[in-house]
Amino acid sequence: MFRYLTAGESHGPALVGILDGLPAHLELDAPAIDAALRARQGGYGRGGRMKIETDRVEFLAGVRGSVTLGSPIAVVVRNADFENNRALMDPLTGGGKPLTNPRPGHTDYAGAMKYRQRDLRNVLERASARETAMRVALGAICAQFLEALGIRTFAYVERIGPVVAAPPRDLDRERIAASEVRCADPEAEEKMIAAIDAAKAAGDTLGGAYVVHVTGVPAGIGANRQPDTRLDGVLAGALMAMQTVKSVEVGAGNEVAALPGSQAHDIFTLGEGGGVARPSNRAGGIEGGISNGQDIVLRASVKPIPTLMKALPSVNLHEGTVAPASIVRSDVCVVPAASLVGEAMVRLALTGPILEKFGGDSLDETRDNMRRAVAAAAELFEPATLRAER
C-alpha cells in the first residue's frame, strides 16, 4: 500500500515527510526536486517569506546512491526562518504572547475550538501553507516514478480574480513555466499582474483557478466497486485537501449542468485501423470512477488568502471585545504557487491507484506489469483482421 505523511510547523525547525510504498530501483534526480521547490516559492504576488527560505530536500532514509531501496523514504526541508522565530517556536522552550484574534477564512478559530488551544499560534503554524513545501517535495519524487511509466503532469493558471485566460490551444510548458503567473495567455497575464498590484495597494488579496493536466494514464486506473476507490473522488479529495481550495471540477465540470445529455458526453467513433476514438474529452479522462485512457483534466478554484494587510473585523477571544483580525506575514495571491502544489497533490494521489493496479516491488516489475496489462487491454477489442495478421 502506498501512503505518505508530512509533519512540521510553518516557523518550526523543519518540515518532514515520509513516502511508503514506492518500488525499489527508481533513480532520483535531487536537483529536479529542488527545482520544484524553487518554482513553488515563485509566482507574482508572493510575500516576504519566500525571500528568506532557500528550500532544498535532504534524504534521511530509503535512498542509497540516489536510488530508492523499496523501504520508506524519509526527507526533510529546513525552515531558515526558524532562527528568526526560535524564541516563539523552539520545540522545547518556545513561548511568547499568545495570538487571540482569529482571521475570517482561516483555521484559527475552528482549530482552537477543536484542539482547545487558547493561543491561536498553536493552530495556525501547522495550518499554514508553508507545509505545502513538503507536499511539493514528495510530489516531485512521485513525478519521477510516474514519468518512468510515461505519465506526466502539468499545471497552469486559468484565472486570477476577475481575469480569465483564454483556453490554451496546446500546453506550451516553457511559456507557462516562464510566466510570472503560470498563464499561457500573454494578454491575460498582464491583466492578472495588474489585478494583483491593485489588490496589494488596497491591502486586499485575490484568489483564482488553475488546471492540472495529466497525460499517459492508461485506461483502467481506479475502480467503481466502492466509493473511496473512484479515481475522480481520490483526485478531487487530494485537491480539496489543500489549503485555500474551495471547489474541484473534472473535465467540463460545472458546464455540464447546463447541457443536455446529447452535448455533455464524449461519443465513440472508429479511428484509423478500426480502433476506438473520442473526438472530445468533456469527461476529463475519467468515467465511472475509472480512467478511460484520455488525458485527465482537473480544475481547482482557490479562495483569496485570509490574511489581509487591511485586517478584516474579528474579536479578541481572551478579552471578549471587537478587534481586527491578526495580521501575519502573508501573500497577496498564491494561485500560481497553488497550481504547483495542486500538481504535487495529483501526483501523490495518482501514485497509489497506479501501484494498486500494476504492483511491483521494483520499478522494472511495475513497468513490466503495466506493459502486459496495457497490451492485454488493447487486444480485448482488436479487430479480427488485425488479430489474424499478428
Report pLDDT for 284: 97
Average pLDDT in the chain? 93
Report pLDDT for 238: 98
Cell, residue 289: 470512477
Report pLDDT for 49: 61
According to DSSP, the β-strands at 276-277 and 163-164 are unpaired
Low-confidence ranges of the chain (pLDDT < 70): 48-51, 329, 382-390
Report pLDDT for 276: 86
Report pLDDT for 45: 83
Strand positions, DSSP E, 244-293 = 245-250, 269-270, 276-277, 286-287, 290-291
pTM of the model: 0.94
Report pLDDT for 236: 98
Strand positions, DSSP E, the chain = 3-7, 14-20, 58-61, 63-64, 67-68, 73-78, 152-160, 163-164, 208-215, 245-250, 269-270, 276-277, 286-287, 290-291, 296-302, 313-316, 321-324
- Given a contact cutoff of 8 angstroms between Cβ atoms, the answer to whether 148 and 176 are in contact is no
Please, what are the domains in the chain?
3-389 (3.60.150.10)
Residue 169 burial (10 A CB sphere; 0-12, 13-18, 19+) = exposed
List pLDDT tens digits, range 202-218: 999 999 999 999 999 99
Report pLDDT for 42: 87
